[in-house]
Amino acid sequence: MQMEIQKSMQKTIMRSVEFSGVGLHSGISTDLWVHPAGVGHGVVFKRVDNTVATPVRASWESVSITDLSTSVGVNESRVSTIEHLMAALCGLGIDNALVEISGPEVPILDGSAKVFVEAIEAAGIEIQNAPKQVWRIKKPFLYEDGGKAVKLEPADFTEYRCTISFSDSVIGRQTIIYRHSAKAFFELAVARTFCHYRDIDAMRRAGFALGGSLDNAIVVTDEGVMNPAGLNGGDEFVRHKLLDAIGDLSLLGAPLAGRITLYKTGHGMHAKFMRELMKRQDEILELVSVPGNYAEAGPAAVLV
């Protein structure tokens, strides 16, 4: 009985962990530290390379840029490409952490959340003396924009249905149904970011993908995948898009509990959806304590 009670409590990391690497878009090498934090702290980013930078809460209200990644904060305090780290924290049930970083962008590492997940698990997860909370979906909510859509429906579990469609690419159309659990999350965590080779020059002229390589991204051509080792499963593309979505939607401040359907969404769509949802927060959502362990129940992901 005591274990069941503990499973519904807030969590932080047991000891600090450090990551180093290049930013996918900036090409700037940075060091990043994830530190333990107290009950109710949430996830907060702090730039340590600039004395005028102020801490930025990982919140939908702090989102500033959504071009090919998600950024929070502005000017000297801005931290970009936070979605993979946020997904790792959310997927492992971490509620409270201080993230210090020596530059403007979270390291891309191998292009997935795998390294973050493994390091946090190795550091240990501390159960804290306060109830964990989730957003319970009280009634259906649909947000559509330009042929993209996010739909919320009430359910007694957290389940995602994510569809991507790249009709002009070998990626094509993929759909995944994912019931959240810590074990199933690792299947998402290893999925890497991707792009089409024909888009790279334009992205770099616009100041993006300056740190990108075959070591940290899947690159596809009209013929197939350029990466020598190939894919981590045929559904890696849709799994990565869902990973991004989980990281972005964690900026609501608590996980969503219910059925979430994502159709052709991306960072910009996620930010618009969160703003519209929170305008109707009292009507659609209810913040409730988790009755069991949010991060350890449910089957693995299924490609359909």
Which amino acids are annotated catalytic?
A: 267
Q: Token pair 């992901």 is at which residue?
A: 301
What is the number of other CB atoms lying within 10 angstroms of the CB of residue 146? 9
